[in-house]
Amino acid sequence: MNFFLHSFSFAFSLRQISLCAGLLCILSTVSQFSSAQPIIDGASFTQSGTQLEYLNASPLWEAPANITDPGESLEWDISNFNAIDTLVENYFAVSSLNFLYQSAFNGQQNPATLSDHFSPFTDFDLLDEVDFELPVEPENPRRFWRNDETGYYEVGVAFELQSFPLITPFESVDRVWPFPLEYDVIDTSIFNFLISVPFVGAYGQDGFRYNHADAWGTLITPNGTYDALRVRTELLITDTVAIADLELATSFERPLQVNFTWFCPDMPGPLFRMSFVGGQMITAQLLDDPMPTSTTASSAPDGSMQLFPNPSQGASRLILPSSAPLGGSLHIYDVQGRKLVDRILAERESVIDLSALASGMYTLHYIGLDGQMMHFTRVLKR
């Protein structure tokens, strides 16, 4: 009888231990699962002084089949990203502009249009969309933004005609991104503005933005691997043009634009973004070197091959990781896959001369002594 009781007690104890271990395993898994979901706030996001340099995808680049899939704990592999040129976005303080701009965006007339930074843009595409001709070429086009704890907003636009500023705060501001931004958040924004051009007419926009943080997971890029939150955006815009001489106003509804944007915590802007119209990709842009590394680095972390500076204007220093055997070959390919350089690397650090190559994106492969590719990186030649 005592033996039976002791055996039962022992078996029950084992069952308790097993259940506790299983519960701890589940709790650990849940904890890891939850912590992997990035949350984006505005603390490190775009503001005055930010510079973002994006690589524009080559028309030949093919995105992975799952790039637009929604869901949790996904993996998007864009390590094959090929670029043809760059887009640089600079953001400056509104306080650097004259008093007309400062008074228009100081928030006193409408707190919603408060702005502390702006970005110039070289292609004044607002009017190009509707073929609205101005008597003179517009100059210094600017977009005005605000970053606060509730979101990132576009609050106005401005440009100059013969040095005369046409400053237009939005009537309804556009919340481009809500903060905090986390998985399954849904946010909508309605925005509109009207630019009046004396003796010519007016141009305006009415827009509707629908944001859904519909996925999170791991984004694998040529620069590294990142935990990322993905937002799907639907953008509907109607342009309105009024011609003063004709006393006529006409509206044009643009096709639905669907954007996909990947964010990482503590980055000053989106890491990766794509736009589609009619189901066709029209742009894909990858933030170049999102976590800048020192140009005076003396060794590469194990498992990576590094190039400094990158982008390069000619000569760059290549550093092989400590795990790479010396005596292998460096191959450099263009975006069409043509091998342009084949060179033996006998030292861990080498100077790579790219001055003979045309401007564009190139892929560097380090081939081991056994003929297998061991490491790769990409460089943008300017």
Q: How confident is the model at residue 133 (pLDDT cuts 50, 70, 90)?
A: low
pLDDT confidence of residue 299: 40
Mean pLDDT of the chain: 82
Distance in Å from the first CA to the final CA of the chain: 87
Query: What DSSP string runs through 203-235?
Result: EEEEEEEEEEEEEEEEEEETTEEEEEEEEEEEE
Which residue did the predictor score with more confidence, 139 or 118? Answer: 118
Q: pTM score, two decimals?
A: 0.69
Q: How confident is the model at residue 54 (pLDDT cuts 50, 70, 90)?
A: very high
- The whole-angstrom separation of Cα 321 and Cα 328 is 13
Render pLDDT for 59-104 as a digit per residue (tens, 0 to 9): 889 999 999 999 999 999 999 998 888 888 989 999 889 999 999 9
pLDDT confidence of residue 371: 74
Residue 291 predicted with pLDDT over 60: no
C-beta separation of 372 from 359 below 8 A: no
Residue 51 class from Cβ within 10 Å (0-12 exposed, 13-18 middle, 19+ buried)? exposed
Q: How confident is the model at residue 134 (pLDDT cuts 50, 70, 90)?
A: low
**Residue-wise over 170-180: b if at least 16 C-beta within 10 A, else e?**
beebbbbbbbe
Instruction: Write phi, then psi, for 293 (nearest 5 degrees).
Output: -110, 160
Query: Among the listed ranges 171-185, 282-296, 307-321, 340-354, which one has the minimum average pLDDT value?
Result: 282-296
Render pLDDT for 257-273 as a digit per residue (tens, 0 to 9): 999 999 998 899 999 99
What is the percent of the chain where pLDDT is above 70? Answer: 80
Give the number of other Cβ atoms within 10 Å of residue 105's Cβ. 26
pLDDT confidence of residue 160: 87
Sheet with 373-381, edge to edge strand ranges:
339-344, 329-333, 360-367, 373-381
Q: How confident is the model at residue 178 (pLDDT cuts 50, 70, 90)?
A: very high
Answer yes or no: CATH 3.50.50.60 is held by domain 306-381.
no
Q: Where are the domains of the chain?
A: 51-287, 306-381
Which residue did the predictor score with more confidence, 203 or 295? Answer: 203
What is the percent of the chain where pLDDT is above 90? Answer: 43
Residue 121 predicted with pLDDT over 50: yes
